[in-house]
Structure 1
């Protein structure tokens, strides 16, 4: 009897051991899938929109301004009552690609599902695994929008999707290399760069979703900030940037041409600094391939400091020069070249050359948010001048900067400053 028990025990142990291997392997595969999903969620910068200031990650509640009124982002934690815990993979895919929630209501296209429609099945599977198994559940009810009836009705969004939504998953372009196609997939898909950097039409739709449209990534005004031109345009785009310049900017938030500020700071803080060097290089390769579009209509920029030097030597008769010498020159220099990448250059900076000065006004009034790269805060953030400089002061100093070092950009009016300060 004891021998039979011993034999049974040994047999049971052997069977358990035999069965444990596949279970452990499955767990390992699942964890790898969750880790892959976490990386992809970084690429999509999901945390930036679905987390309110001071709130729990992915629990929603961030206010977003639209032409119709303010909406609030949703809870995408796996809480079954208030989040997406009840979503199947199919329901998750539909929300990502078509902007339709589990209960059938349409999401506002502030959710960049026209870009996410290009994401392939394997990546959506990994994202689903991460949000279901790698994100802590948070019970936080979603907040209704501030859009009033009848504009808050969702059914017209079905018509919007019918007209503007392209449902095709990204397909590699023949004749292009693997790096180019990877970069195109990231820029057009999870990176959803066009959501900010592509101008929108009368229906608030992006005017182009890929390089086949002239407006794609040609720069756009959004929520008081002007998202830069990312095409090969010489003055306001990436025409003077090398692929290494682009990859370095996405990794570190600064390079010899410019420094990140405004919403782009959050993109770098939450998303692009965590990307692999291979993915950064792929995005840079794709962006460098885009032909020049948009621009400020000026000849190709060439540095010239002669008139600026004279103005700064005799600032008494030039209010903008006087303000620059008082508040700006210590960091950005008399030559306007700053100390890149620590202190942004102003001479030839694409953001300075852009016809729309909204971003310059906003960053002068409100400064730059904290940018932490690999655990180290940026040492010289732009200070806030809203309480120090009047609307006329801001207009005059920015007009001086935009006219200096051969920048040749339009003047800034006090009315434009007052409008953005009020908004």
Structure 2
């Protein structure tokens, strides 16, 4: 989770919904009169649950008007306008059109959406929730006339018709159905995590065709962590070191509500998930999501022994920083926030000792956040006082590799070292265009 990545970083993870551009001559949708305000309000809550704003609202842009660039393995695409504007948004969509785009990835005019839009997850959304979402987007969102931008994907990869075959192979149609033998909270949590929450879009590894390797707990790879756009979206299973095995139910609830707990702090794409989505959810829904996630068996571990804190060797190294290049960097730039003991000052400043992101097999999130820092967590309108700063302009590749190797070895973390080449690669990919 962000220190556990859209992060739950995606960063990363990131959440990547893009609905399609409506044709310019779209007609006014049927039944566009006065909407049931209770239904609109419920749809607004569901849109927060789905974190629609994070992807469909560009920085300093108008709500849901699109324009945000997102990278895919094929090239950059730009999220679309999903306001009820009839010319440039989805104002011409009927409820059936909306449902088809949301759950099947097919736009009103029949073209297929890229699977960066998490419609394989949204396929599980039930009819009542689709109706409420439609009411919100048609009657609770201000129309914005803003034309959509074509993707940067080059021909022939920009052709949409092959996605029809992708859907045939990987899209599992049908709303979520309660699992027998599971209680109400577990089933609600499974519905939220697998469906509108689309946690698997970031936290589940993808195959060669960019398909999620599993869409629910029946697949062993589900939520076991995945690399996405320069971040490693954390393992959300019960794995003891890099996953949620050491997190209590209260730890997980606290993280989803505030983005920080005694184990980790949110960064990367997960910041927007906390800011725009999970902090606004009801305690009942947060509890259901926690109940479901805490039920997942451990997957994705490297066979290492369960983490136990041991400060002694690291303390000796920090007492003599001249003997270790990484310790010298840590003493100069990191120790003031994360402490000599590596335990930070949680939840304000994240611990590094035993942090699941530090223990993860993939160090991408650590490299990325050290290079580029993280955005502000904003809880109840109040920005976090101590966001992680970026050190790309201060530290070179070797210094970052040295300090992260020190951190990953320190306090009995026992994680693999980081190489300067890894840092250089992420520096190049994440600093491009800045």
Higher RCO structure, 1 or 2 (CA under 8 Å, sep 6+): 2
1:168 aligns with 2:174: yes
- Post-superposition offset of 1:52: 1.4
Residue 250 (structure 2) aligned to one of 244, 252, 258: 244
Q: In angstroms, what is the RMSD of aligned CA positions?
A: 0.9
Cα deviation, 1:12-61, whole Å, max 9, x if unaligned, reads xxxxxxxxxxxxxx96x700000000000000000111111221111111
Counterpart for residue 196 of structure 2: 190
Residue 125 (structure 2) aligned to one of 110, 119, 126: 119
- Post-superposition offset of 1:382: 0.7
Counterpart for residue 294 of structure 2: 288
Q: Superposition pairs for residues 265-344 of structure 1, below 5 Å?
A: 265-344=271-350
What secondary structure sits across from 2:113 in the alignment? coil
Residue 422 (structure 1) aligned to one of 412, 425, 428: 428
1:260 aligns with 2:266: yes
Once residues 280 and 116 of structure 2 are traced to their aligned partners in structure 1, the CA distance between those partners, rounded to angstroms, is 24
- Post-superposition offset of 1:376: 1.1
CA contact (8 A) 1:296 1:353 kept: no
Ranges in structure 2 where 5+ consecutive residues have no aligned partner: 1-32, 430-434
CA contact (8 A) 1:118 1:168 kept: yes
Residue 200 (structure 1) aligned to one of 193, 202, 206: 206
Counterpart for residue 72 of structure 1: 78
1:399 aligns with 2:405: yes
More helix per residue: 1
Residue 83 (structure 1) aligned to one of 81, 86, 89: 89
What secondary structure sits across from 1:404 in the alignment? helix
- Post-superposition offset of 1:317: 1.3
Counterpart for residue 390 of structure 1: 396
Once residues 69 and 383 of structure 2 are traced to their aligned partners in structure 1, the CA distance between those partners, rounded to angstroms, is 26
Q: Superposition pairs for residues 374-385 of structure 1, below 5 Å?
A: 374-385=380-391
Question: Normalising by structure 1, what TM-score?
Answer: 0.93
Residue 369 (structure 2) aligned to one of 363, 367, 370: 363
State which structure, 1 or 2, has the greater radius of gyration over its C-alpha atoms. 1
Question: Normalising by structure 2, what TM-score?
Answer: 0.91
Counterpart for residue 372 of structure 1: 378
1:107 aligns with 2:142: no
Give the ranges of 4+ consecutive aligned residues of structure 1 lying more than 4 Å apart after TM superposition: none
CA contact (8 A) 1:63 1:72 kept: yes
- Post-superposition offset of 1:296: 3.2
Once residues 184 and 318 of structure 1 are traced to their aligned partners in structure 2, the CA distance between those partners, rounded to angstroms, is 47
Once residues 319 and 245 of structure 1 are traced to their aligned partners in structure 2, the CA distance between those partners, rounded to angstroms, is 34
Once residues 328 and 155 of structure 2 are traced to their aligned partners in structure 1, the CA distance between those partners, rounded to angstroms, is 51
What secondary structure sits across from 2:97 in the alignment? helix
Structure 1, 210-219 or 370-379: larger mean CA deviation: 370-379
Q: Superposition pairs for residues 38-53 of structure 1, below 5 Å?
A: 38-53=44-59
1:98 aligns with 2:118: no
Cα deviation, 1:131-150, whole Å, max 9, x if unaligned, reads 00000000011111111111
What secondary structure sits across from 1:110 in the alignment? coil
Cα deviation, 1:148-186, whole Å, max 9, x if unaligned, reads 111111000000000000001100001000000000000
CA contact (8 A) 1:98 1:167 kept: yes
Once residues 222 and 170 of structure 1 are traced to their aligned partners in structure 2, the CA distance between those partners, rounded to angstroms, is 26
Cα deviation, 1:177-233, whole Å, max 9, x if unaligned, reads 000000000000000000000000011000000000000000000000000000000
Once residues 375 and 50 of structure 1 are traced to their aligned partners in structure 2, the CA distance between those partners, rounded to angstroms, is 20
Cα deviation, 1:215-254, whole Å, max 9, x if unaligned, reads 0000000000000000000000000001111111000000
Ranges in structure 1 where 5+ consecutive residues have no aligned partner: 1-25
Q: How many residues align?
A: 397
What secondary structure sits across from 1:70 in the alignment? strand
